[in-house]
Structure 1
């Protein structure tokens, strides 16, 4: 029994000794690893990609102060309300008061129609008698135009004769408000109001009162005012060349729903060479060009 106990004691001492040696060995190895790791330089490859790791892990990215400042600046930029840029869209002046009376009655670009009236007492101050062009009727009033329109009409008639040897006639120019009252009432009496409104303006709504409009005719239509004038050599020349002298064919074919009047190839309106050219080239009516373009 004693021998067995001694053997057991030796085994225990050896086991205990091995355990102590094992512990010392472990501590030594751990220390070596620790110091080696601390002294090892970190290469670029070994550096963790903080952003990519966090993105892959789905973690919130930690932003340093500079980045945070930049981010705040960006946020502040987003919060800044931009001042509106100047709008280059031209504001269209309609020159119309609350009673539908135009306020630019003396302008050569004035628009007069069924919704835009001249005052009943409006008379252009610069009316002149047409003396250098052939006329159809011996009527002192209707053989007048405003000075600029009269000069342009004379030049247009002379040019038509020089270029293609055609003779144009001036049939009806300026009409006063009172004259239009008589004409309109006569048309209504003879043709009825619905029909009259298609070819005759109500008093105050006639371009003739502006002193800027002229009805033109020729021998080919017996000096009458008819749509057939548009098919004559004279009518075609007027349609294609009137703009050169500051006139436009005011009531175009196919535009009746816009102008409110039937096609009138004989009715020209002076608006000045610049505007006439623009309206002619656009193919629009005066209303469309000035107010809707």
Structure 2
């Protein structure tokens, strides 16, 4: 009887040792897997943070809108266009020239309606547009709200960066939605990202940009960002989030 008890007791001990021998390894595997997963997640978060920081520090991705004013010390290096009466930021000049030249080769003719504007000129345009509405009997506050759907006050306009251009067809120089029907505008919307430009205020994104649809307003952001923004059909605001 003692031998049988001893035999059974030995089996229990051996089985217990087997279980104890397996459990720690399994626990170590789970712990290692969890640790590796946490490390990957941390690395992804760090990479995402670095990417956001790089975007926000990229001068080509400078965000200027109704809620985000231009830095007070902002002073772009400008280059005068061939027309002689307009200028743009020097950094966009070559790509702008290449884009318009490529369009010309397709039989298209463009007109740059506006490029860089000083703060004084920007405010002058705003005030003029408000006066036109108040002269028709609209009160100032309502006129201001209407005008700032398309024209920003000084310090809040992309035109002050020199990175934005208003481009129309030579045959239709109206800054309105009739531009959409011109072959020049269609070509620009389809090809501008190849040259580092985006359609800055696209249709359907008014709640995000807080600006009405402007098919003539193109903003330089660099080729990589322009490609991603265009492919994802997002705005600069969404890209920088």
Q: 1:195 to 1:66 in 2, by over 3 A?
A: same
Which residue of 195, 202, 211 corresponds with 1:261?
211
3-state SS of the aligned residue for 2:200? Answer: strand
Aligned residue for 1:152? 95
3-state SS of the aligned residue for 2:240? Answer: helix
Aligned residues: 220
How far the C-alpha of 1:85 sits from its partner, in A, is 1.4
Which residue of 156, 162, 169 corresponds with 1:205?
156
Q: Does structure 1 conserve the Cα–Cα contact (< 8 Å) formed by 2:209 and 2:237?
A: yes
Aligned residue for 2:187? 237
5 Å-filtered alignment, 1:13-52, equals: none
How far the C-alpha of 1:166 sits from its partner, in A, is 1.1
3-state SS of the aligned residue for 2:216? Answer: strand
Give the alignment's Cα RMSD to 1 decimal.
Answer: 3.3
Q: 1:115 to 1:62 in 2, by over 3 A?
A: farther
3-state SS of the aligned residue for 1:93? Answer: helix
TM-score (norm. length: structure 2): 0.78
Q: 1:72 to 1:146 in 2, by over 3 A?
A: same
Q: Does structure 2 conserve the Cα–Cα contact (< 8 Å) formed by 1:127 and 1:146?
A: yes
| 2:60 matches 1:117 | no
Structure 2 Cα separation of the partners of residues 275 and 227 of structure 1:
26
3-state SS of the aligned residue for 1:278? Answer: helix
Aligned residue for 1:195? 146
Aligned residue for 2:52? 93
Q: 1:94 to 1:209 in 2, by over 3 A?
A: farther
3-state SS of the aligned residue for 2:171? Answer: helix
- Structure 2: 5+ residue runs without aligned partners? 134-142
Q: 1:76 to 1:217 in 2, by over 3 A?
A: closer
TM-score (norm. length: structure 1): 0.65
Which residue of 13, 17, 22 corresponds with 1:66?
17
How far the C-alpha of 1:213 sits from its partner, in A, is 0.5
| 2:237 matches 1:283 | no
Q: 1:75 to 1:156 in 2, by over 3 A?
A: closer
Structure 2 Cα separation of the partners of residues 242 and 151 of structure 1:
13
Q: 1:72 to 1:183 in 2, by over 3 A?
A: same
Q: Does structure 1 conserve the Cα–Cα contact (< 8 Å) formed by 2:52 and 2:240?
A: no
Q: Does structure 2 conserve the Cα–Cα contact (< 8 Å) formed by 1:247 and 1:268?
A: yes
Structure 2 Cα separation of the partners of residues 247 and 76 of structure 1:
54
Aligned residue for 2:138? none
Aligned residue for 2:136? none
Q: 1:269 to 1:62 in 2, by over 3 A?
A: same
Which residue of 100, 107, 111 corresponds with 2:59?
107
Q: 1:75 to 1:112 in 2, by over 3 A?
A: same
